[in-house]
Amino acid sequence: MKVEYSYLREQFKDHDVILKKISEVVKTGDYTLGTAVSEFEEKFAALLGSKYAIGVNSGTDALFLSLKALGIGPGDEVITAVNTFIATAGAIAATGARPVYVDVTDEYVIDPNLMKKAITSQTKALLPVHYAGVAADMDQIMEIAHRHGLPVVEDSCQAISATLNGQCVGSFGVTGGFSLHPLKNLNVWGDSGMIITDNDKINDTLRSLRNHGLRNRDEVDCFGYNSRLDSIQAVVGSHLIEDSQWITETRIKWAEKLDAALSELADDVTVPKRRPNKRYVHHLYIIMAKRRDELLAYLIDHDIEAKIHYPIPLHLQRCSAHLGYKEGDFPVAEAQAKAIITLPSHQHLKEDQIDYMIETIKSFYG
Amino acid sequence: MEVKYLDLYKQFNDDELWGKVKDVFSTCQFIMGPQVEEFEAGFASLCKTPYALGVNSGTDALFLALKALGIGSGDDVITAPNSFIATTGAIVAAGARPVFVDVGPDYNMDVNLIESAIAPQTKAILPVHLTGFPADMPAIMDIARKRNLYVVEDAAQAVSASIHDKPVGSFGDVGCFSLHPLKNLNACGDAGALTTKSKEIYDKIKMLRNHGLKNRDEIDCFGYNSRMDTIQAVVATHGLGKIEEITANRRENARLYDDALAHLAPDLLFPEKKNGFNPVYHTYVVKVKNRAELRSHLEKNGVETKVHYPVPNHLQQPCARLGHKKGDFPVCEQQSESIVSLPIHQSLSKDQIFYVSDLIKQFYNGR
């Protein structure tokens, strides 16, 4: 049996239906920032319960533009998690600010207590990451933010529809950035991203920044960027968002099955503790495993496409060399990096594939 | 008769093109699929450069070029004040200061004014091939060599334009192109491309456009997300097969206007033409008297025109902090008050061009 990591072919097997919708948009000649984009923005905002959604070119840009809208730049510090995909820190660095890394908890998200300690007089924003589809501890983080008067930008790129106490991630902070990259739970046919906010002023600023700072065709309010969500990608997003609930629920179903079965292997495998007040959307289903590298090879040998997200934490990457961190600075993330493994858990898997993965892992340790 | 400024539907209502787009679903490699490299190879060959890279937009092409050359805070970049705002925006996004020089009768940077704009902090010259007419690259390259400056060409509007058969984008350190839907070679959304002779610059930009990733797990430098979508690469590659015809049609349309309108001087003036400079007419821009009235006369008769652009960069609000005022760039300012862009796209018929020309003649002769 084969268990593939990617599910794009199944996800878009109805591409003819979508292409037909695209051909309607093509007739209008409206290929950037057209009505297709505003329609998708409205659906996206409604899904997450926010006032505005702003379509941009990528999840990276969603974070970058959010920070720019808050006026963050050279000389400023932005606090984030050390185990995230590089784009989070890259977006901070792109503004000219300095990324300040913080270690994570046993569920792979930023540790609020350590975040508090990382605040300095240069800190201008907190950027928690809802890593792997796990909501960060936003209740504590928002309390810290209020106490210190700091804005919060949520990296929700991997966590569409994840919740804490029933509230969608991305809607706690001043903005939430989402990725619609083809590998994400809600995905399109290329790079795209979305920002949600309830703040009228930030909404206006973001709309201007994503389109060269233009007020209208001929007048420019501020220097901006080119970071638009293509109309054709908006058509894909609008189509797929109808399936969003099914995608989330199926991923949760498979993850719960894996959780239950793998918990029996407690000597060899650690399933992160699940909190009852969080909805985990399992963009990545990550466990910690003994003899990880051997297990990875064994699974691949058995046609199970497992992966590692990610083997090297950000502070040990060459790009961070100038920030002055060293091995040992973030012991939890470093230990996790050596033990984590990501199993396929997407919505297009069948129950027998999940069973096969469980058996294979059991046979490896058995 | 209706003469639209653009007819994208005519271009994109193309079953062959959508058939090619559908092929992407056999692999679903929507990010950096092999079709991107295919486009890059075709584009490099069109521009006669060893390397080309697909990126997210023409704006990002400029930004990434400046970043790859190490240009940033404290540096000056010399450019023209009459370009689309993205040119200046990319310089500012890199952290550098845009320094404007006025333009000549071809709407491009006046090369005689460049030397006096060079300061110790100047790092690059960023000429714009506005309207698809090549800037005076031989002269600009001479100055750059003499003063040890980088040259980044803004060729966003000028794919396939050339000087003595040498394509724009192949003169400077990096050439930057837009494949925005309104461009001669276009995608069905935002896309851009870069050209360079330098393997080092190529490698650097390749990394910068994809988060600074050396491979899946290792990151060499902080980068950006500015990739060309696979689907857009398919659309652009399809366009590469047609660009010769597109350019030929636009040149023919321009010739028809030139012939029909030549006798209207001084009411209507063409930009300067130069021996060996071969434009591609992304826009067909003439200087006219009574512009507003002419435009409304044309509009009343079904002809769509545009102005590229009515407010020069230095008079836009965000440039206020650069200390510019009206009068700083008199040629550009005077042009911005009298220029008009006539429909020139490749799908226009001869009759449509004659119709527009006749309306213009009627407007000036009838007064």
CB A313 within 8 A of CB A334: yes
Contact map slice: B 256-275 vs A, CB within 8 A: none
Q: Return the structure tokens found at B38.
A: 């295919």
**For A89, nearest residue in chain B (alpha carbons):** B222
A239-290 pLDDT tens trace: 999 999 999 999 999 999 999 999 999 999 999 999 999 999 999 999 999 9
Out of B89, B181, B231, name the one closest to residue A212 (CB).
Answer: B89
pLDDT tens digit sequence for A138-185: 999 999 999 999 999 999 999 999 999 999 999 999 999 999 999 999
Distances (CA, A) of A76 to A95, B358, B365: 9, 61, 63
pLDDT at B367: 59
Torsion of CA B338, B343, B344, B346, to 10 degrees: 160
Decide whether A8-242 matches A244-365 in CATH topology. no
Decide if B9 and A27 are in contact by the 8 Å CB cutoff.
Answer: yes
| Residue B59 touches chain A, beta carbons under 8 Å | yes
Q: What are phi and psi of B161, to 5 degrees?
A: -70, 150
**CA distance to partner chain A, nearest, from residue B263 (Å):** 31
CB B286 within 8 A of CB B339: yes
CA distances from B156 to A333, B161, B196, B209, B343 (A): 44, 11, 15, 18, 19
pLDDT of residue A247: 97
Strands, sheet with B166-167, edge to edge from the N-terminal-most edge strand? B166-167, B162-163, B277-278
Nearest to B229 among A190, A228, A231 (CB): A190
- DSSP-derived letter for residue A3 is B
Measured in degrees and rounded to the nearest 5, phi and psi for residue A295 equal -60, -45
Distance CA A101, CA A110 (A): 9
Chain A hits for B88, CB-CB cut-off 8 Å, are 223
pLDDT, residue A321, reads 96
Domains in chain B with CATH codes: 8-240 (3.40.640.10), 243-365 (3.90.1150.10)
Domain ranges of chain A: 8-242, 244-365
For the cut 90, the answer to whether the pLDDT of residue A26 exceeds it is no
Name the band, by pLDDT with cuts 50, 70 and 90, for residue A343.
very high
Interface test with A, best of B67, B186, B218, B225 (most A CBs within 10 A): B225
Asked whether A100 and A109 are in contact (CB, 8 A), the reply is no
Question: B153 CB near a chain A CB, below 8 Å?
Answer: no
DSSP three-state, residue B314: helix
Q: Are A78 and A127 in contact (CB under 8 A)?
A: yes
Determine whether domain A244-365 maps to CATH 1.20.140.10. Answer: no
Q: Which two tokens stand for residue A161?
A: 């529809």
Q: What does the alpha-carbon distance between residue A330 and residue A333 come to, in Å, rounded to a whole number?
A: 6
What is the nearest CA distance from A216 to chain B, expressed in angstroms?
A: 12
**Contact between A230 and B316 using a beta-carbon 8 Å cutoff:** no
Rounded Cα distance, B190 and A214, in Å:
16
DSSP letter for each residue of A69-127: HTT--TT-EEEEETTS-HHHHHHHHHTTPEEEEE-B-TTSSB-HHHHHHT--TTEEEEE
- pLDDT for the residue numbered A27: 82
Contact A324, A299 (CB under 8 A): no
Flag residues of chain B having pLDDT under 50.
Answer: none
ipTM > 0.90 (yes/no): yes
Task: Please give the average per-residue pLDDT across A6-21, as a whole number.
Answer: 92
Kindly report the CATH number that applies to the domain delimited by A8-242.
3.40.640.10
CA nearest to A26 within chain B: B9
CA distance A232 to chain B (A): 7
Q: Check B225 against A219: CB less than 8 A apart.
A: no
Single-letter amino acid, residue A68: K
In the beta sheet, which residues pair with residue B297? none
Q: Does B13 touch chain A (CB under 8 A)?
A: yes
Three-state SS at A39: helix
DSSP letters of A9-35? HHHTTTHHHHHHHHHHHHHHT--BS-H
| Sign for the pseudo-dihedral over CA of A74, A80, A83, A86 | negative
Chain A nearest CA to B233, separation (Å):
11
Q: What residues in B contact A10, CB-CB < 8 Å?
A: none
Chain A residues in contact with B188 by the CB 8 A cut-off are 26, 31, 230, 232
Is residue A43 left, alpha or beta, with left meaning phi > 0 and alpha meaning psi from -120 to 50? alpha
Nearest chain A residue (CA) to B192 = A226
Of A96, A181, A319, the CB nearest to B31: A181
The secondary structure of residue A42, as a DSSP letter, is H
Amino acid of residue A289: A
DSSP secondary structure string for all residues of B315-357? GSGGGGGGT--TTSSHHHHHHHHHEEEEP--TT--HHHHHHHH
Helices B350-365/B291-300 angle, 10° precision: 130
Q: Measured between CB atoms, which of B7, B59, B230 is closest to A225?
A: B59
Chain-centre distance for alpha carbon B104? 17
Distance CA B287, CA B13 (A): 34
The Cα-based distances of B222 to A126, A238, A330, B205 in angstroms read 19, 32, 20, 12
Residues of B (164-223) whose Cβ lies below 8 Å from A: 180-181, 188-190, 211-214, 217-223
Q: Give the closest residue to A251 by CA, choosing from A155, A346, A172, A317.
A: A346
A-interface mutation test, from B62, B219, B309, B324, most A Cβ less than 10 A away: B219
- Residue whose tokens read 């009852």: A276
Chain A contacts of B227, Cβ < 8 Å? Answer: 191
Q: Chain A contact for B95, CB < 8 A? A: yes
Exposed (0-12), middle (13-18) or buried (19+): which is A233, by Cβ within 10 Å? buried
Average pLDDT, chain A: 97
For residue B320, the model assigns a pLDDT of 87
Q: Residue B116 contacts by C-beta under 8 Å, 6 or more apart in sequence?
A: none
Specify the 3-state DSSP secondary structure of A259: helix
Which one of A27, A223, A235 would you mutate to disrupt binding with B, by most B Cβ within 10 Å of its Cβ? A223
Cβ distance A191 to B31 less than 8 Å, yes or no, reads yes
A90 → closest Cβ in B86, B224, B231: B224
Alpha helices in chain B (DSSP H): 8-12, 15-23, 34-47, 58-68, 85-93, 114-117, 137-147, 199-208, 230-240, 243-261, 291-300, 330-338, 350-365
Nearest CB to B188 within list A59, A61, A232: A232
Partner-chain contact A190 B311, CB within 8 Å:
no
- Nearest chain A Cα distance for residue B118, angstroms: 23
